Amino acid sequence: MKFFIDTANIDEIKKAMDLGMVDGVTTNPSLVAKEQRPFEEILKDICELVDGPISAEVISLDAEGMVAEARELARLSDNIVIKIPMIEEGLKAVKILSAEDIKTNVTLVFSSSQALLAAKAGATYVSPFVGRLDDISQTGMDLISDILTIFRNYGFTTEIIVASIRSPMHVVESALIGADIATIPYKVIAQLAKHPLTDIGMEKFLADWEKRQK
């Protein structure tokens, strides 16, 4: 299972890379806005650091505008993946970009019908948002299982990026289901490493070590 980090923050990317946990990066307009730096500058910095897919989202609402933005962004690096919103105009854009061999990540996916359409349009990745579904009392992880079944039924090569991850259990459940990728905020990557019994065990080992015969 691949781990992408869901951030536009360079320090978080570096910290996760030190742990060996970065196979790729996803950004979105909200994450980019938090950094208060030009979008292109952020993307160039990420591309210099990470040798893997880096998702950059378009903000146009029509296919023509999305494709124009995508072509500009794709020029920055071969690693750039264009994040396209799951709307009809987005599907049109995915079809055009896929014919030009520009990789796409269809984002804001909340149903299996949306994922099926994105795969048929030729998306490289789909991003179902599990946390935001949980927020409205729907089980986000059920959507991941359904999409995986549909993709396997028909041999779609579109990869599933489990997005809007809020807790370590989202990551564990994604792995149990067999999702291709989880895009994870740095905070959750750090939480995944933690266990109170590890801390208690370390404390005891070190205390006993002090009592050894010197």
Residues labelled as active-site residues: 83
Q: Which residues, numbered 96-115, are part of the site for ligand E4P (CB under 6 A)? A: 107
Question: Counting runs of H as helices and runs of E as strands, what totals does the chain give?
Answer: 11, 8
In the complex, minimum distance from the CB of residue 78 to ligand E4P, in angstroms, rounded to a whole number: 20
Q: How many CB atoms lie within 10 A of CB 151?
A: 20
Q: Which tokens is 34 given?
A: 């938090």
Q: Pick one of 79, 112, 114, 164: the residue that binds ligand E4P (CB under 6 A).
A: 164
Among 7, 9, 28, 79, binds ligand E4P (CB under 6 A): 28
Which stretch, 86-94, 126-134, 192-200, 201-209, contacts ligand E4P (CB under 6 A)? 126-134
What is the DSSP annotation of 163-196? Answer: BS--SHHHHHHHHHHT-SEEEE-HHHHHHHH--H
CB of 165 to ligand E4P, least distance (A): 6
Q: In this chain, which stretch among 17-25, 42-50, 125-133, 139-147 interacts with ligand E4P, using CB under 6 A? A: 125-133
How many of the other CB atoms lie within 10 Å of CB of 101?
A: 8
Q: Which of residues 130-159 bind ligand E4P (CB under 6 A)?
A: 131-132
Q: Which residues pair with 85 in a beta bridge?
A: 107
43 to 17, 22, 38, 46, 55: CA distances (angstroms): 16, 16, 9, 5, 9
Is residue 174 a contact residue for ligand E4P (CB under 6 A)? no
Q: Which of residues 179-198 bind ligand E4P (CB under 6 A)?
A: 183
> Are 110 and 132 contacting, i.e. CB atoms less than 8 angstroms apart?
yes
**CB 154 → ligand E4P: shortest distance, Å?**
24
Q: Are the C-beta atoms of 105 and 161 separated by less than 8 Å?
A: yes
Smaller CB distance to ligand E4P: residue 104 or 127? 127
Q: 3, 8, 24, 26: which one contacts ligand E4P (CB under 6 A)? A: 26
Residues that bind ligand E4P (CB under 6 A): 6, 26, 28, 107, 127, 129, 131-132, 163-164, 183
